[in-house]
A and B are shown apart, each in its own frame.
Chain A
């Protein structure tokens, strides 16, 4: 509701200008905003997931349950559940109502990326290291995993039986990224050979394939509207494509046609990109650079580079754009901080004194006829009161444009005031570039054994306090 008071020039600013701060808790390796943008989840090297409140820049929750670095994060639509994938070969689904683990699913290989179904938190898709991607249904306590194909669908016109050579080629395909389309009816999968497959969720078959790039597909991300996809590939080119409408009733896979809309690359320096993200509206694309400190922003109408954000002198990994504000968060690879770029608004001094106005040029002041007339106090008072004949409604809530309207029973993460945050943030010591050592490995291991605490393990507590003192 502050929009009506904010300077329109500030509101018109679409992308961040300068670094405005950083968030720190341990060494963060990945980050993601929830749909409303009030929380930012961050996964750490030690497997802890930290949820930052973007309003206070404080820590709202700490989720402990992984033992290795967190690889990817995904929020459910209502913001209540968080899916985390870790290098410990596990995916956890957290219920943020109380911070408990709703489901923990173990896989046979390390997980690249796990992504929630857009409409339910009981389904997600994972892409695994050198293994088939899986669709996981966790509606039952025992998770059900369904294997998804990686082999691209061959064009029907060359209907000769697949040659041995081709079969051998196909066998080498493995899927590196999987995400759901906006309605969750299809899965987009990127392969190590640069192919993009569209997989039907119900039949779990590939309905369309196209070779989109020459290198490994590293990352895929949809816009909020779901109409566009950005693809980061190892061939140092970021591509955006417009999604065909896949929710037509009688969808003919043969009519699907995917063409690259824009290619973003740095021709001069041949930079490769660590991570990409869309802006809130999809108008802009941002990327962090490999072996470089800068964050690039392109706009999509003309495909031109609009801004190179400079910030702390370190390379950035995951980069994320706030769901509606011109704010970018990126994880520093070296320090493990989450650096924030945003807009620093200027205080309008006319807001401080209501009888002042800011003018562009000098204006000659014209005195009103009755400006310095003296009226009796009572008369002024009465005149004022007579003017107050407007109809006032103090009760009806008018919807604010662009605001995500909550349902009555919308989830709100409880504010934990007794969050025991005595944990030393500096539990990792940098021992070299990008290398961290845990201060006391036993302690960190023990943090996950929550049962021992529940049992009132006195030994454990004594040890803990002893260590604190030191």
Chain B
């Protein structure tokens, strides 16, 4: 046990559980929805992380408050939310009427049921991602680890350890053999999927938390968005920072590559979504909504014609970036505080959008009609991220602040119906009890000493090298290790 403990500096019970929480949480008391995380932690999590013990917290605070500008913006933001929050008071947890059953004329019929609950992370999960070949799921967590799971069986495959702080983002390379992770320790690491080992040198250059990553479709470039308000393009072969995009005036929330790799989009809490030319590094378009709500996540649509933007006014907007207009607004979930993320999926011949909500639900919208076609309780507390399988139709994964990963399958998909989950009662009303008998709970906690990592020596080395790169060691950690 000590083995695991020592390799995980974040085991500190007192350290606040983190998640991709925006910086604006500095005064939590004013938050209407602070009760959204109901797992007993009333504390509002700053983007502090596991590497920060209680005693460290003030230090971080000082460092941040020393930056007056950030402070000021924080306050601005608050006034903004307060003024607009009245509009959204309606979006409290769903009543029964809200649970939309697909109208008969609609072709989109989906019925997702929880199949596996994967446990293992000791803290909240910030992102879950299917590998492009659909075989694996990677989850990253505030506990500083990344776990790889089998997408079909739910089996725990590997735990990737090495980051000094919570991991906010992960991305798969197009060949599914490499995983990139961005962490609050300001580093981006690349990992071999097969061995679980990191590539020797992390990508360093960001001055603040790395918040979002995306691979180019060819796998030769990586785009990263950081709290330092910059967007970097990396040449992965040389591990060199290729281009710095003077992106935003506030922390960058999300980045994404278009399917042919010619465009990159980024979004920020300043409310802007920018579209960049990968080849020249120039900004080609800026999308902004009148309300200027902070944008936390962006994603290109599967065909690359639209951009989906998640904003902290509990809206998801679909933008036509060529015309510069918002085409659809999806509402019904709660998103006031966390960077939630979702994905496009296909049901029948129609597209849907799936996203988490801060009340623990997963919500599915019909892309065309904007109607909610399904909503289901997925996690205790905030559902931070939802991803759909790129190969297996009707498979979806969600990760929550409760530290669990859930795999969902669409029982309407003929393949799944035959696949032994036909037992799931289809008529069962949605949104009542997620833990029915057909859900398998998988435990991904690794036994002592069998971290997929290869040994503690490596971990030590990795850490030391990070220290040398200017990341201050956490005292207590260093002591434990030595």
Chain A residues in contact with chain B, CB under 8 A?
1-2, 4-6, 38, 53, 55-60, 345, 347-348, 351-355, 377-378, 381, 384-385, 388, 390-398, 400, 403, 412, 414-419, 421
Contact: A415 with B236, CB < 8 Å?
yes
Using C-beta atoms within 8 Å of the partner chain, give the interface range for chain B: 35 or more
A385 to B328, CA, bound (A): 7
Contact: B318 with A415, CB < 8 Å?
no
In the complex where A2-B277, A351-B284, A396-B303 touch, is A56 in contact with B221 (Cβ < 8 A)? yes
Contact: B278 with A55, CB < 8 Å?
yes
> A-B pairs with the 5 shortest C-beta distances?
A394-B301, A56-B235, A5-B284, A2-B262, A415-B219
List 30 A–B pairs whose Cβ atoms lie within 8 Å, in order of A's numbering: A2-B258, A2-B277, A2-B278, A5-B277, A5-B321, A53-B220, A55-B216, A55-B221, A56-B220, A57-B242, A58-B240, A59-B238, A352-B283, A354-B288, A354-B324, A378-B87, A385-B370, A391-B368, A392-B306, A392-B327, A392-B368, A394-B301, A394-B367, A395-B303, A398-B305, A403-B260, A414-B175, A415-B218, A417-B178, A418-B199
A60 to B263, CA, bound (A): 21
Interface presence of B296 (CB below 8 A): no
Residues of chain A contacted by B220 (CB below 8 angstroms): 53, 55-56, 58, 60, 415
Interface presence of B275 (CB below 8 A): yes
Contact string against A for B residues 364-407, beta-carbon threshold 8 Å, 1 for contact and 0 otherwise: 00011010000000000000000000000000000000000000
Q: Which residue of B lies closest to A419 (CB)?
A: B237
In the complex where A351-B285, A415-B220 touch, is A421 in contact with B238 (Cβ < 8 A)? yes
B309 to nearest A CB, angstroms?
13
Residues of chain A contacted by B263 (CB below 8 angstroms): 1-2, 5
Chain A contact residues: helix, strand, loop or mixed: loop
In the complex where A1-B262, A58-B235 touch, is A388 in contact with B329 (Cβ < 8 A)? yes
Residues of chain B contacted by A395 (CB below 8 angstroms): 301-303, 344, 346, 351
Contact: B322 with A392, CB < 8 Å?
no
Contact: A1 with B258, CB < 8 Å?
yes
Residues of chain A contacted by B344 (CB below 8 angstroms): 394-395
Within 8 A of A (CB), among B279-294: 279-280, 282-288
Residues of chain A contacted by B279 (CB below 8 angstroms): 2, 55
In the complex where A1-B262, A58-B240 touch, is A354 in contact with B351 (Cβ < 8 A)? no
Residues of chain B contacted by A403 (CB below 8 angstroms): 260
A20 to nearest B CB, angstroms?
10
Residues of chain A contacted by B278 (CB below 8 angstroms): 2, 55
A416 to B302, CA, bound (A): 26
Interface presence of B190 (CB below 8 A): yes
In the complex where A2-B262, A415-B236 touch, is A354 in contact with B286 (Cβ < 8 A)? yes
For A355, A381, A394, the residue with the greatest tally of chain B CB atoms inside 10 Å of its CB is A394
Known: A56-B242, A347-B283. 17 other contacts (CB 8 A): A1-B263, A2-B263, A2-B284, A5-B321, A56-B237, A60-B220, A352-B274, A388-B328, A388-B370, A392-B327, A394-B303, A395-B303, A395-B344, A395-B351, A397-B259, A414-B175, A419-B237
A324 to B454, CA, bound (A): 47
Residues of chain B contacted by A348 (CB below 8 angstroms): 282
A299 to nearest B CB, angstroms?
25
Q: Which residue of A lies closest to B199 (CB)?
A: A417
In the complex where A56-B242, A412-B218 touch, is A390 in contact with B327 (Cβ < 8 A)? yes
Q: Which residue of A lies closest to B261 (CB)?
A: A55
Contact: A345 with B370, CB < 8 Å?
no
A372 to nearest B CB, angstroms?
14
For A381, A392, A393, A398, the residue with the greatest tally of chain B CB atoms inside 10 Å of its CB is A392
A395 to B236, CA, bound (A): 29
Q: Which residue of A lies closest to B323 (CB)?
A: A4
A23 to nearest B CB, angstroms?
12
Residues of chain A contacted by B216 (CB below 8 angstroms): 55
Contact: B303 with A351, CB < 8 Å?
no
In the complex where A347-B283, A388-B329, A392-B367 touch, is A415 in contact with B322 (Cβ < 8 A)? no
Residues of chain A contacted by B7 (CB below 8 angstroms): none
